[in-house]
Amino acid sequence: MVKGFVSGSFGPLVLAVLGIAGAGGFLFYYSGLYLPWMLGPLFFVMAAKMKFGKFMQWNSKLRNAGLIMLGLQLGSSFTSDSVAQMAKYLPVMFFTTVIIILFTVLTAIFLMKRMKLTLNTSLLGSFPGGLSQMVVLSEEIEDADESIVAFMQTLRIILVISIVPWLVVHVMSAQPSTGAASALVHRSTFSFHYSWMHAILMAAVFSSIIFFGKKINFPLPFMLGPLLTAAAFNLTGFEAPQIPVFWLNLSQLLIGAHLGYTLKVNNPRLFRKMFGMIFVINVLLIGFCYLVSYGLKNYLSLPVNELFLSLAPGGVAEMSVTALSVHSNVSIVTSFHLFRILFILFLLSPVMKFIAGRRKREQLE
């Protein structure tokens, strides 16, 4: 049994993927590119899988480990001041979420007509939520094509984490914000400085949240469990741990490798046909979020680069990592993206399921 677990779950083929991801991270890092430990593994693993896919394996437990480390770091940025600031921006979160989703609905309808997709496939592929959450939803909605949704979401994430950091650093003012900004300095490279009692208690709490979160299909339980735990520790007087740079980079590597590996190319001809249009639509979506950020900057006390990161159409994990790398207020950026994904999952997805079910009943009558 042990031999089967090692060879099947974390065997040499999985280690080979980790090696490819590490090589991509090092190359991007020494080339001076942004988000090297996420983008490098993503592109290297994606390219290797397209060429040598049958010789590669991956284990999602590795990505979950990366999300746990990232969640702890994000949660450590939540303080009483940042929570009060988040409450202040709830109306802005709602307004921006609605207009961004309306924009994606319009582009999804256009894509549906041009590519002859079902409406739900086009919507789930276009919504700026997390890749894994949208793919899971596509499995639950009968007329949605999981492989097309995965392809559209993966391409969107690649474009967002390739374009958005560049815009923030080179086009917008990228000065660190004064809130709960999380810098990658003044932190040890490898070791944690945290008491064993606190670490055991924290692990027990976030493990419980993960367990029950999975039971109720809560989004991103492996990131939100540690995030909520670290935030609760901070707010109740216990100090949440700061993740050392090495482990934070490792978490990005694991998440990037997972994204690169999960790209599905089951219908190469269709994907080649769709690539150009999806590319243009997502660039337009990024541009729309950019314009909204500048339109709101005079009415809010948030720096425009921070606002743009909060609105950019990436997943929670990807945009939070970007906020960390450019020293933005991580709690604000994370809050905006959590609000959006919860809005999609708990408001829009039930509506989509209801419409899909009613449509199916009408066809059977």
Q: Which two tokens stand for residue 17?
A: 């993927």
- Work out the pLDDT band at 22, boundaries 50, 70, 90: very high
Q: Tell me: the pLDDT tens digits for 299-331?
A: 888 888 889 999 999 877 778 888 877 778 888
- Work out the pLDDT band at 291, boundaries 50, 70, 90: very high
User: How far apart (Å, rounded) are the C-alpha atoms in residues 276 and 219?
Assistant: 30
- Work out the pLDDT band at 280, boundaries 50, 70, 90: very high
- Phi-psi map region of 192: left, alpha, beta (phi>0 left; psi -120 to 50 alpha): beta
pLDDT of 308: 93
The whole-number average pLDDT for the span 162-173 is 79
- Work out the pLDDT band at 6, boundaries 50, 70, 90: very low
Contact 134, 340 (CB under 8 A): no
pLDDT of 286: 94
Nearest to 135 by CA among 148, 200, 143, 64: 148
In this predicted structure, the answer to whether residue 191 has a pLDDT above a threshold of 60 is no
When mean pLDDT is compared across 186-190, 275-279, 301-305, the lowest value belongs to 186-190
The whole-number average pLDDT for the span 142-154 is 81
3-state secondary structure the chain: CHHHHHHHHCCHHHHHHHHHHHHHHHHHHHCCCCCHHHHHHHHHHHHHHHHHHHHCCCCHHHHHHHHHHHHHHHHCCCCHHHHHHHHHCHHHHHHHHHHHHHHHHHHHHHHHHHHCCCHHHHHHHHCCCCHHHHHHHHHHCCCCCHHHHHHHHHHHHHHHHHHHHHHHHHHCCCCCCCCCECCCCCCCCCCCCCCHHHHHHHHHHHHHHHHHHHHCCCCCHHHHHHHHHHHHHHHCCCCCCCCCHHHHHHHHHHHHHHHHHCCCCCCHHHHHHHHHHHHHHHHHHHHHHHHHHHHHCCCCCCCHHHHHHHHCCCCHHHHHHHHHHCCCEHHHHHHHHHHHHHHHHHHHHHHHHHHHHHHHHHHHC
pLDDT of 111: 92
Q: Tell me: the pLDDT tens digits for 330-351?
A: 888 888 988 888 788 778 877 7
When mean pLDDT is compared across 76-90, 227-241, 255-269, the lowest value belongs to 255-269
The whole-number average pLDDT for the span 15-29 is 93
Provide the residue count of the chain: 365
In this predicted structure, the answer to whether residue 24 has a pLDDT above a threshold of 70 is yes
In this predicted structure, the answer to whether residue 1 has a pLDDT above a threshold of 50 is no
pLDDT of 44: 92
- Work out the pLDDT band at 132, boundaries 50, 70, 90: low
The whole-number average pLDDT for the span 135-151 is 77
Domain boundaries of the chain, sorted by first residue: 60-364
Contact 227, 46 (CB under 8 A): no
- Work out the pLDDT band at 190, boundaries 50, 70, 90: low
User: How far apart (Å, rounded) are the C-alpha atoms in residues 34 and 161?
Assistant: 9
- Work out the pLDDT band at 365, boundaries 50, 70, 90: low
Bridge partners, 329 (sequence order): 181
Bridge partners, 181 (sequence order): 329
- Work out the pLDDT band at 181, boundaries 50, 70, 90: very low
pLDDT of 265: 58
In this predicted structure, the answer to whether residue 356 has a pLDDT above a threshold of 80 is no
Angle of CA points 72, 184, 65, to nearest 5°: 30
In this predicted structure, the answer to whether residue 252 has a pLDDT above a threshold of 60 is yes
- Work out the pLDDT band at 107, boundaries 50, 70, 90: very high
User: How far apart (Å, rounded) are the C-alpha atoms in residues 7 and 14?
Assistant: 9
User: How far apart (Å, rounded) are the C-alpha atoms in residues 62 and 315?
Assistant: 18
Q: Which amino acid is at 76?
A: S
What class has domain 60-364? mainly alpha
pLDDT of 364: 66
- Work out the pLDDT band at 180, boundaries 50, 70, 90: very low
Which positions ≥6 away from 206 have C-beta within 8 Å? 68, 71, 72, 225, 226, 228, 229, 230
Cα four-point dihedral sign 8, 9, 11, 14:
positive
pLDDT of 315: 74
The model's pTM is 0.74
